[in-house]
Amino acid sequence: MAHLVLRDSARLRYFTFFYLYVMQGIPAGFGLTATYNYLIGQGLTAKAVGSFAAIVGLPWTFQFVWGPLIDKYQYSVIGHRKQWVVLTQLVAALASLSLLLVRDPVAQVGLLGGVFFVHSVFASIQDASVDAIAISVVPLAERGRVNAFMRGGFLLGSAVGGAVLAYVLHHGGFRWAAVAQTAALLVFTVLTFFIKLDRTDQLLPRLGRARRPAAQRTPTDDALAHPDENPSLGWLFRELWRSMVERHSLRAFLIIFLAYLAGYLFSNAFNFHLIHALRWSDTDVSILQGSWGSLVSFAVLLGGGVLVDRIGPPRLQYWVMVGLGVFLLVFSSLAAFWVSRPVAFSGLVVLNLADPLLSVAAMPLLMAFCRPRIEGSQFTTYMALVNLCGVTASYLNGWLLEITTAPIIGFGAGLLLTGLLLALHLLNPNAKAQTQAQLAGVRAS
């Protein structure tokens, strides 16, 4: 297995980060697409379904906690941070198996949400570890394409979890769907075990690692001077605070945050509208999202990965935001035509594209802001805030749909995004360059 070394092979990096995100996407698709739509189809209220989705997504907002923990104990003879990936994969598979405790998802929605919550805790730690490894081993010139493979893997996993497991859920029952998900997670865990980060890494850990004698350390030693030493928590939090409050990275992240929030707000509302108002079956929505929607998104995403490495993340991010804002305004204005299945399906496809296209440009930007040795802490803090968008949107939709409709929510989300871009144009005559510069984290002249 000596040839399975991430630093030695670009193809292996693409494959590894692709399947690691497939592994993350399967439970996400099962919980937030198949099960979410199933609960809507069984007649649960918007508030109940929204609360379920918020509970499932809540642990992903804790990633700012996992990051420092992962970076504090990052050293391992099996590969820096790899021990976190393997351990959390095993525990996440066990948590998935505990879904067998749920016999009736509708009657036991509280237990269902609790089990998904526990699974999400360990899945989010795994995600934080994988992202930190990606930042440390992927060359800058490959980050756009690697992020495209990551998001593509997540889409494929979501397609399997949302479409395939939705079919199993309706034809074999919830228990068989849980068993199928657990089996897939265990297969991927075994694969991870045999992949090394560096050629000198071992497959199995050992006890009694030799450390430098204390007498050899000087008062001027710091965390960066000894990359094989675990840094102190004090140093980690000081560096994390400095990096997060830096003005240009803060501006760029605010733009990215609002773009995600706008997309998430309408996506959940539109699914609810299709099932409740237009009487689509939840199985149809799940399968369309997980099959054709994901296939189109996957193809566009891989092209976007190549494009972002050529034209740069800031330019692609700017135009994705413009396109998403225009789509939200126009499509929401055409709500009367949503009764046409081709029109509604086109909306599902575009909404499936929104998140991956935002991510393929935003993730390399956020990775570029991350400082050495706090990659896990800083990037997972960014991801925790992005995930907070999804949780907030799920909860808000449960409340908003009680007092308004999906078209109004979509139009409001479009105004939020286009209003942000318009404000940037009004504040600066060279607004397009300024926006891209802010997204890049550099000053525009």
Band (pLDDT 50/70/90 cuts) for residue 423 is low
Euclidean distance between CA atoms 297 and 349, whole angstroms: 7
Q: 158: closest CA among 26, 12, 43?
A: 26
* Residue 31 DSSP class: I
75: tokens are 């050293």
Confidence (pLDDT) at 99 = 93
Residue 208, classed as helix, strand or coil, is coil
pLDDT (average), residues 364-380 = 76
**Rounded Cα–Cα distance for residues 166 and 161 (Å):** 7
Q: What are phi and psi of 116, to 5 degrees?
A: -60, -35
* pLDDT digits 0-9 by tens, 30-42: 998 889 889 988 8
Which of 411, 389, 436 shows the shortest CA–CA distance to 326? 411
| Cα–Cα distance for residue pair 373/165, rounded to 1 Å | 39
**111: which residues sit within 8 A by CB, 6+ positions away?**
101, 102
Confidence check: pLDDT of 213 > 60: no
Contact 91, 84 (CB under 8 A): no
- Weakest mean pLDDT among 68-82, 124-138, 182-196, 284-298: 284-298
User: What is the pLDDT at residue 220?
Assistant: 33
Do 16 and 148 form a contact (C-beta atoms < 8 A)? no
Supply angle C-alpha 90, 96, 99, rounded to 5.
150
Which pLDDT score, from 0 to 100, does residue 328 have? 93
3-state SS, one letter per residue, for 269-298 = HHHHHHHHCCCCCHHHHHHHHHHHHHHHHH
Backbone angles phi, psi at 272, to 5 degrees: -60, -40
Q: What is the pLDDT of residues 268-318, one digit of tens each?
A: 889 888 888 888 888 778 777 666 656 666 667 666 666 766 777 777 777
Kindly report, residue by residue over 64-103, the tens digit of the pLDDT: 778 778 877 878 888 888 889 999 999 999 999 999 999 9
User: Please, which pLDDT band fits residue 337 given cuts at 50, 70 and 90?
Assistant: very high
**Do 297 and 349 form a contact (C-beta atoms < 8 A)?**
yes
CB 317 within 8 A of CB 159: no
CA 285 to chain centre: 21
The reported pLDDT for the residue numbered 412 is 92
Contact 153, 131 (CB under 8 A): no
Residues 6+ apart with CB under 8 A from 247: none
- The three-class DSSP label of residue 5 is strand
Of residues 85, 101, 178, the one with CA closest to residue 133? 85
**Two tokens, residue 319:** 């135009």
All domains in the chain, ordered by first residue: 8-202+239-440 (1.20.1250.20)
- List Cβ neighbours of 112 (8 Å cut-off, separation of 6 or more): 35, 52, 99, 102, 105
Q: Are 45 and 109 in contact (CB under 8 A)?
A: no
Q: Is the pLDDT of residue 427 over 70?
A: no
DSSP 3-state assignment of 303?
Answer: helix
Alpha carbon 46 to its chain's center: 24
* Amino acid 248: pLDDT: 75
User: In terms of pTM, does the model score above 0.85?
Assistant: no
